[in-house]
Amino acid sequence: MTRITLPAILLLSVVFKTHAQVGPIRKEFLNPTSKNVLVASHRAVHHELPENSLPAIKEAIRLGVDIIEIDVKVSKDGIPMLMHDGKVDRTTTGKGNLETQTFEALRKLRLVSNGKITEETIPTLEEALQIAKGRILVDLDLKTDQIEKVIEVVKKVGGEDFVFFFDSDYEILSKVDAASKKFMLMPRAHSLAMADSALTRFKPEVIHIDEDFYTPEVTKLIRSKGARVWINALGKPDAEIRKGNARETLKELTREGANIIQTDEPEKVIRALKELGLHR
């Protein structure tokens, strides 16, 4: 009889626990009729941590966030890395466009958070996904047209189960869709007609909509086609949440059936949604 040592049992328990965490989130994500509103943390949790950084991703996991939104660009030598802006000036100690610089040069930079230089470097997409894997869903905001390099990394880490691709460029999303029908997609729509077109073209898991056409007609259409409805709390809604008006703000954001909310205040949003019975 094979004996399993205590350390091995502990290791197995950690592995099983880790991979069990994302299962219920994914199940909810793929259920557009669920009353459970999912929370997406914009650029991970970046109040006191650098945006799009590994510590910010770890903090989102610790807080019990459902989804992290991260931005990906590709270095001059083909390494997908996390960065929102075209230039690295705002968030690092460097200057210039990320996609015109080599990975080696970019790794020498340090991330800046709230005006302070940290010891953190610009993460690779692979590093970020390895941390997220089994723990949290990932909204991958495509800030590059070098989509093949991004797809390579997602496939390498087995990201089909927990990564979904976001873009308003439907030609880019078509390339993702062509690479694998297992990939989950979130097209951005700017009207009812555009949402209808995206649903027909991609059969996506979620549609990103905006406040200016957030109507029962739109959400009913999206959910009837088996997709969730994503809306942002970024800007004024988050400002109201910071003032202590979270419950009223979230009632307004969910009034017509949106069931994923992206926010810069994930901890406050989760707490308020739980109070309203809208988050498990």
CATH number at residue 58: 3.20.20.190
* Token reading at 178: 């062509």
3-state secondary structure 225-249: CCCEEEEECCCHHHHHHHCCCHHHH
User: Range of 211's domain?
Assistant: 21-71+124-275
pLDDT grade for 2, boundaries at 50, 70 and 90: very low
How much is the mean pLDDT over the chain? 93
Q: How far apart are CA 75 and CA 77, in angstroms?
A: 5
Domain for residue 193, yes or no? Answer: yes
Domain for residue 134, yes or no? Answer: yes
Reported residue count of the chain is 280
Q: Domain count of the chain?
A: 1
Domain for residue 201, yes or no? Answer: yes
Give me the residues paired with residue 141 across strands. Answer: 71, 166
Domain for residue 84, yes or no? Answer: no
Domain for residue 216, yes or no? Answer: yes
Q: How far apart are CA 29 and CA 31, in angstroms?
A: 6
From the CB of residue 40, how many other CB atoms can be counted at a distance below 10 Å?
24
- Reported as type and span, the H/E element at residue 206 is strand 206-208
* SS3 call for 135: coil
Domain for residue 152, yes or no? Answer: yes
Q: Answer yes or no: are the C-beta atoms of 136 and 68 closer than 8 Å.
A: yes
From the CB of residue 126, how many other CB atoms can be counted at a distance below 10 Å?
17
Q: What is the pLDDT of residue 6?
A: 43
Say which range, 11-20, 89-98, 145-154, 209-218, has the weakest mean pLDDT. Answer: 11-20
**Tens of pLDDT along 219-274?**
999 999 999 999 999 999 999 999 999 999 999 999 999 999 999 999 999 999 99
Domain for residue 96, yes or no? Answer: no
Q: What is the pLDDT of residue 3?
A: 39
Domain for residue 164, yes or no? Answer: yes
**Tens of pLDDT along 96-131?**
999 999 999 999 999 999 999 999 999 999 999 999
Question: Residue 29 pLDDT > 50, yes or no?
Answer: yes
